[in-house]
Structure 1
């Protein structure tokens, strides 16, 4: 009568399909309702196996690692997954379901040994069941040991009246070793969960409570996973995954692994396209610089870390011959004769690009230029032909996606996306965006996406180094007495004025970094390792072009997967930092400043590693000592990075560095250093 009110099921259904078993004190199942199964013993075995497997899967008994780390079992095998039986033992009814299967093994046992304390609840559940059967018994002692650790720390055998409970096994090797070393009889050992090869299971089937392994006759099981016998054979280790040791079924507390990266010119560090791109878009003067920083048009509140001045590029296109030729080819190839409209994004660069396109297409093609603004669709009155959607630069493609949605009901119009410089943050993002934009009503209606130039680079708009610098300098400026600290007052005030006027100057080009103590700007010397060309001088290279180069390299490393090398991604187990040796190798102050500006705090967390902190301290003490030479030309950028809590050392090293810096003879250096010292130490 319990199930009579279940919706959609009749009494007749339950009389035919419902089977109810009760269990005895020895764990044996006894049929009390329903039709007896043809092969009852096999049916009952599958019933218990299926139930234990469902409990395992529902409660997350299988723990999987992420690509940055994997597990090392107590047996020293390496694997990306491990069974944690303790996760399974949550709900009372489920614990009792597993305990029922142990009942017959507890007879005449005076001691129960569990390989981890997380399964101690199982023997206590068995005791509770026996108590409910009103069976009088002397309660066995329950002890824990650490699976394979018992072989290293102890030579004694388990008492003959004991039962050894193993939480899980993927091979049965622990049973083999216990038997080989004569620690216990085979009948004394029970494994709660097994997941492994069929031959290993067959060797120890009498010792296994639940075989989780998936096969044709048991499709609900877990798929067997690979294990590697040792470090040398581990494919996971070879893919730079960090091994995390497990004792019993608990992670051992570990300090994160510190990976130190020293930049080189190898392709895995510096993509080959960066130098040619820079060479094509060099401005040869700060006035003509296309590559700028800390700016975004349209009076936007945010400012791109990297900004391409497309208006200036088109205005002076004759100076950029390779881009001009490429742009002309793309116009000839992708602006069709049936173009009715040139729909352009609402920025001055896109407007200028439309004007250029109109000047280059055949006179017989007379498209109407339309600016993207509210109600633009009302201006598109033609229902046939092509609409070319024009953008000077795009990063995330949000406006293109907006246009795609709004034009969805204009099925007879062909959409073509035409971009001057496409600057996604990485290839995966780019692929997804382009696939989304290309989709039409079917495959024959795929919409072309055309980019004259493509470069992966930072798309950061918030929290750039110049924003943080502004906050820092305003706080410093508020503490200054103009009469007592005129030199420092004027230095800070002039720098704040530059940052405040970034909208008026279309971003920063030759004032990207703090000036030296003597008022000179940081300049690039000859033989820059990351450029494949050398026809430049201090006078015709802008700071923003150097910054872009370093930023593009860092972005490339940030895009690499955590288990590839090199990568600047971070996890709890792996911390990737830029080696202090980078500042020795790249000793131009402008390169050092670019690294400090475009890198994230995590890359300069030298406080995580004693050796790195010590090396960075020695480097900083050296440039403080030589502040008035080429070695110390970026000193103020280092002090700013410390003040912004971007560059981190251990407390004792940091104190020593800043104490020396605030004793510097130069008033600007000593004044900023004293402010930093008081703020963070």
Structure 2
């Protein structure tokens, strides 16, 4: 039997569900009833529930005095025998209580709904972690629909034995399309075959046939939706195991041209339909939303593809990575430290996370208005050794820095004897002009690149234009995502026609990690939501309006305001001397904070690319590495603390799988909040923003403790606005 408590129409009930009955199992039935009564408090009503087609066997069973004694053992409970028919409709066969009072019994109209609800709840209480599977730490599931979720619903894990599968089958009978001659049941995954098997058995028994007239098959979710459409749609009934948004049912109704009543979903995060709501293919048996611990705003760059019932789980707790001098890439000194004065680097400018301004960079090399020094030497070497004398064309963008870079290159070309009047200048988007180049050499310039898509686009356009000459790609600065990605880009770019090799040159390069996810863009969106939800005259609102205005200045960038300062949203965070990753000679007041951020990016990316002391910062489905909370103590400048989380991937600050790491970070941030009005604590709101954005993720227990501390120490109006919004979003 499947036994569970049920609350229906203000009555406490105990359901004894008997999916099938064989007289030979009579003895075990009594022992199961006895065990059920031991586990349950005295219910008002005991419901002995079974399929209608075994009513005659139950009638014979009720003639057995010993069974009557067993089932009516609860002296203060009414016992009713209830059967269900092929449509899932319940009807009382017999009331076994001597003092039966029909007014004390639950209303049959609502009992079927409540039995389904509480039966599913009981199964979820038993197997929540198996039904609602969390993605491995630092990863996110890519579902068959293509949507990304950090939680996946496995309806097949609800039931473990035949009686539980029969109960799930019973719950589906009330959704059976009675106005159709159903011949085939189509399930989205073979993993719920046991439910389908029980369902087809019930349908055959209710029709008094030994042969199963209704068959079932799996259409393999979204992969088979287009190829497995039934020939006779009128005779089809579609059962979907689970759908987070109910999109599959709606899509099947449209693509298979079914009546919405022919589609039912077992589990979803959505609510079940009310009696007054129209069914558009979104009918649902049970909502698991109350059991879910998913965070739909969570971010992770590591994707885990869900294939049927196959998924992976992390096999050990996260490895904390503590940064030191060994993590410093050598290129920091030449590619970043040399340009620490204001202007060369910008953040959140022109829709990119890191922007390099060549017009500012070249100021380090100017002599009498002309480029000189090492930059000149590099350009001169490129021109002298790699630019062919039949150079016919220069392809250039229209950015101001690109124009200045072109000017410097032309100066060097002229010095090396090139006749500039014979060299055509073409805009990078002028693909039609490229058809006239012929076989002459082409020089493609860009003042700075990141992924190099502009070079790739020009290379493709030249290929389509039939250009067969030499191509030389030159940029002053490259901020690649990873070393591996840069090498693959370079290899692809320089692979020419018929094995011919093109040339690529960059003066400076540094790997800064994936820049597709911007903390500032996410922060702006979150603050916009906070402002929209606040009252116009809300105390402290001006602080957030000022920060939002700063983040919207994408034409100029952040101008050093990398993170939030507690006392002033437009102020700069503190940066102290003796930054371990820089030479000791810099002047703190003249350092642009953007260079500090880029340095932290480079350190983190080096930790991702290379093993240091046997450890590597990265995530896969078996092992998850995180940035040790201790880094926020070791690097206690407020600017560095802000840069660490903003340079990190969200998965690298996901401490939820470890209470120890979650508590470590909570204690660190709580101490910072105590000093919120000092330089030591001025970064506290910035770190709380990281919590709000799900960039830093803590266990629920640690997060709750953190917000309690925040309410105690952050009493200024603008800080209270932030804390209250976080509490609201996390439902704490």
Q: TM-score, normalised by structure 2?
A: 0.53
Q: Is the 8 A contact 1:596 1:637 kept in 2?
A: no
Q: Cα distance 1:656–1:345, how it changes in 2: closer, same or farther (>3 A)?
A: same
Give 1:496 shift.
Answer: 0.8
Q: Which residue, out of 515, 518, 542, partners 1:464?
A: 518
Q: Is the 8 A contact 1:577 1:604 kept in 2?
A: yes
- 1 CA distance for matches of 2:689 and 2:657? 20
Q: Cα distance 1:621–1:407, how it changes in 2: closer, same or farther (>3 A)?
A: closer
Q: Cα distance 1:329–1:280, how it changes in 2: closer, same or farther (>3 A)?
A: farther
Give 1:637 shift.
Answer: 0.9
Q: Which residue, out of 551, 555, 572, partners 1:521?
A: 572
Q: Is the 8 A contact 2:562 2:642 kept in 1?
A: no
Q: Which residue, out of 409, 414, 419, partners 2:475?
A: 419
Q: Which residue number corresponds to residue 335 of structure 2?
A: 277
Structure 1 residue 339 corresponds to structure 2 residue 391:
yes
Q: Which residue number corresponds to residue 498 of structure 1?
A: 550
Q: Is the 8 A contact 1:304 1:459 kept in 2?
A: no
Give 1:464 shift.
Answer: 0.9
Give 1:583 shift.
Answer: 0.7
Q: Which residue number corresponds to residue 110 of structure 1?
A: none
Q: Which residue number corresponds to residue 260 of structure 1?
A: 320
Q: Is the 8 A contact 2:472 2:503 kept in 1?
A: yes
Q: Cα distance 1:608–1:387, how it changes in 2: closer, same or farther (>3 A)?
A: same
Q: Which residue number corresponds to residue 290 of structure 1?
A: 344
Q: Which residue number corresponds to residue 588 of structure 1?
A: 637
- 1 CA distance for matches of 2:435 and 2:674? 68
Aligned length: 413
Q: Which residue number corresponds to residue 318 of structure 1?
A: 366
Q: Which residue number corresponds to residue 583 of structure 2?
A: 532
Give 1:672 shift.
Answer: 1.4
Q: Which residue number corresponds to residue 677 of structure 2?
A: 628
Q: Secondary structure at the match of 2:507?
A: strand
- 2 CA distance for matches of 1:281 and 1:331? 25
Per-residue CA deviations over 1:211-248 (Å, capped at 9, x if unaligned) read xxxxxxxxxxxxxxxxxxxxxxxxxxxxxxxxxxxxxx
Give 1:392 shift.
Answer: 1.4
Per-residue CA deviations over 1:37-85 (Å, capped at 9, x if unaligned) read xxxxxxxxxxxxxxxxxxxxxxxxxxxxxxx9xxxxxxxxxxxxxxxxx
Q: Which residue, out of 330, 355, 359, partners 1:307?
A: 355
Q: Is the 8 A contact 2:314 2:621 kept in 1?
A: no
Q: Cα distance 1:574–1:252, how it changes in 2: closer, same or farther (>3 A)?
A: closer
Q: Is the 8 A contact 2:672 2:681 kept in 1?
A: yes
Q: Cα distance 1:410–1:669, how it changes in 2: closer, same or farther (>3 A)?
A: same
Q: TM-score, normalised by structure 1?
A: 0.56
Q: Which residue number corresponds to residue 450 of structure 2?
A: 395
Q: Is the 8 A contact 1:342 1:390 kept in 2?
A: yes
Q: Secondary structure at the match of 2:497?
A: coil
- 1 CA distance for matches of 2:673 and 2:467? 67
Q: Is the 8 A contact 1:522 1:589 kept in 2?
A: yes
More moved, 373-382 vs 659-668:
373-382
Q: Which residue, out of 596, 608, 633, partners 1:546?
A: 596
Q: Is the 8 A contact 2:426 2:433 kept in 1?
A: no
Q: Secondary structure at the match of 2:441?
A: strand
Give 1:437 shift.
Answer: 2.2
Give 1:599 shift.
Answer: 1.2
Give 1:648 shift.
Answer: 1.9
Pairing of 1:91-106 with structure 2 (within 5 A): none
Give 1:419 shift.
Answer: 1.6
Give 1:332 shift.
Answer: 4.1
- 1 CA distance for matches of 2:657 and 2:344? 39
Structure 1 residue 642 corresponds to structure 2 residue 691:
yes
Per-residue CA deviations over 1:359-398 (Å, capped at 9, x if unaligned) read 2322642153423345444366453542111111223333
Q: Cα distance 1:672–1:441, how it changes in 2: closer, same or farther (>3 A)?
A: closer
Q: Which residue number corresponds to residue 653 of structure 1?
A: 702
- 2 CA distance for matches of 1:277 and 1:352? 20
Pairing of 1:474-485 with structure 2 (within 5 A): 474-485=528-539
Gaps of at least 5 residues in structure 1 are 1-67, 69-249, 297-302
- 2 CA distance for matches of 1:673 and 1:568? 31
Q: Secondary structure at the match of 1:636?
A: helix
Q: Cα distance 1:251–1:678, how it changes in 2: closer, same or farther (>3 A)?
A: closer
- 1 CA distance for matches of 2:314 and 2:599? 36
Q: Is the 8 A contact 1:305 1:459 kept in 2?
A: no
Q: Cα distance 1:518–1:423, how it changes in 2: closer, same or farther (>3 A)?
A: closer
Give 1:440 shift.
Answer: 2.7
Q: Secondary structure at the match of 2:443?
A: strand
- 1 CA distance for matches of 2:594 and 2:675? 26
Q: Is the 8 A contact 1:517 1:668 kept in 2?
A: no
Q: Secondary structure at the match of 2:673?
A: helix
Q: RMSD across aligned C-alpha pairs, in angstroms?
A: 2.9
Q: Is the 8 A contact 1:262 1:579 kept in 2?
A: yes
- 1 CA distance for matches of 2:437 and 2:671? 70
Q: Which residue number corresponds to residue 406 of structure 2?
A: 354
- 2 CA distance for matches of 1:476 and 1:450? 46
Q: Secondary structure at the match of 2:685?
A: helix
Q: Which residue, out of 568, 576, 599, partners 2:617?
A: 568
- 2 CA distance for matches of 1:618 and 1:411? 62
Q: Cα distance 1:633–1:448, how it changes in 2: closer, same or farther (>3 A)?
A: same
- 1 CA distance for matches of 2:441 and 2:717? 64
- 1 CA distance for matches of 2:418 and 2:645? 54
Q: Is the 8 A contact 1:258 1:574 kept in 2?
A: yes
Per-residue CA deviations over 1:160-200 (Å, capped at 9, x if unaligned) read xxxxxxxxxxxxxxxxxxxxxxxxxxxxxxxxxxxxxxxxx
Q: Which residue, out of 410, 422, 425, partners 1:370?
A: 425
Q: Secondary structure at the match of 1:514?
A: coil
